[in-house]
Chain A
Amino acid sequence: MGEAAIKLEGKKKSTFMDKVKEMLPEGGNLNLCLTCGACSSGCPATGIEGMDPRKFLRMAALGLDEEITHTPWVWMCSMCQRCIYVCPMKIDIPRLVYFARQSWPREERPKGILGSCDMALKNESCSAMGASPDDFRFVVEDVLGEYQEAQPEFAEMEAPIDKEGAEFFLNQNSREPVTEPDEMVPLWKILHKAGVNWTYGSKGWGGENYCMFLADDEGWKHIVATSIKQARDLGCKVYLNTE
């Protein structure tokens, strides 16, 4: 004779996972896990801090809210979504990680990510390195002039900022204008060669979005909206991600 199943008593309390499920389409499929482990076997973050995606999801399902909202592992998962890609049930574990990040008080989230997000919110460039629209314009014009002169075949090359009616709006990772401006030149040359009508924006030119990584919804949205609005205001037809 088998023993009777143990029945857990008490009213089920609302868990972290329940709250996340309410926010996601189809509940992020979070309760469909077959525990097959495809996620963990192909996750580069498996084993770091004794955690892996399946374990993280199972802990959430068991209501171990304290543990999953405090493990630093959520900052070591890059939310690359490979686990969803290989999951037979398409379970959105990265979004669970995202909300676990968000459960950290903002000032206790990793300083580097926090600082880069705050830099981007400092002015209208939305650059994680804090470069202002004037800084950006100065560097672009300076480098452009230098190359137009040194390489006469490119005397007509352009790197416009806020050109009305340009077909393409390009963003630019801050690393180039701030730390290695010569690296912008090959991109401009390609656009020149192909005869592309393009522009940067004085607002929202920064191509990176550390507020997204910080799980700061407002900041994330602000950066995206600033950049897209600038592209729309200039009448551009294509928003081109340069990386």
Chain B
Amino acid sequence: MEIASIYQYYAKWIREGRLPVSSDWNKDLKIKFTVQDPCQIIRKSYGDPVADDLRFVVKSIVGEENFIDMTPNKSNNFCCGGGGGFLQSGYPDQRRQYGRIKFDQIMATGADYCIAACHNCHAQIHDLAEHYGASYGTVHLWTLICLSMGILGPNEREYLRDDLKEVNVFHPETAM
């Protein structure tokens, strides 16, 4: 049995034309995105080829000109501090001290959103923004893939900020 990351398959399905994604929605908005490379998937498992797949997906859905990479990145990326059980270990001060490097990296990109497709990364990067008082959003990859295909409903936007709450809404009448 093959053990794979869904990033590989998102990229494959886009390349095969099975996911009709488009970045047109962001042509005029020009909302900027960066992406977190989860240690577990990239450095510890599949390496740079899957980091490249992840970037291919991100650029396909937000537009190449609206993607800003962190430095360093891919297999050389910094852990956000949400991994290894840190979120549950009962050391929140140390966890945020650890995450300061990640926070500064994200801020240096100037991006409006950090895409975090791993749940530990998502929780930590979201918490870092709140703790250090930044306005960037932390969003899952699947949210943006659906947004870019025009099939993201109003109740699937928990992690979008006001700038994207009303963009390309699918079945807006179902808002709860």
Contact = CB atoms under 8 A, between A and B. Distances in A.
A82 B102 CA distance: 14
Given A194-B19, A213-B85, A241 B151 contact: no
Contacts, number: 166
Interface in A182-196: 182-183, 185-187, 189-190, 193-196
B100 to A, nearest CB: 8
Interface in B72-88: 75-79, 81-88
- By size class, the interface of chain B is 35 or more
B79 A185 contact: no
Interface centre among B13, B43, B82, B142 (most CB of A within 10 A): B142
Interface stretch (B4-12, B26-34, B106-114): B4-12
B174 A150 contact: yes
Given A82-B79, A193-B20, A195-B18, A76 B4 contact: no
Contacts of B94: 48-49, 76
Chain A interface size range: 35 or more
B18 A80 contact: no
B118 A231 contact: no
B143 to A, nearest CB: 5
- Give the one of B20, B79, B84, B140 with max A CB within 10 A: B84
Contacts of B149: 193
A194 B119 CA distance: 23
Contacts of B174: 150-151
Given A194-B19, A240-B4, 10 more contacts: A76-B91, A78-B82, A81-B39, A82-B79, A112-B85, A186-B143, A186-B152, A195-B18, A214-B85, A231-B1
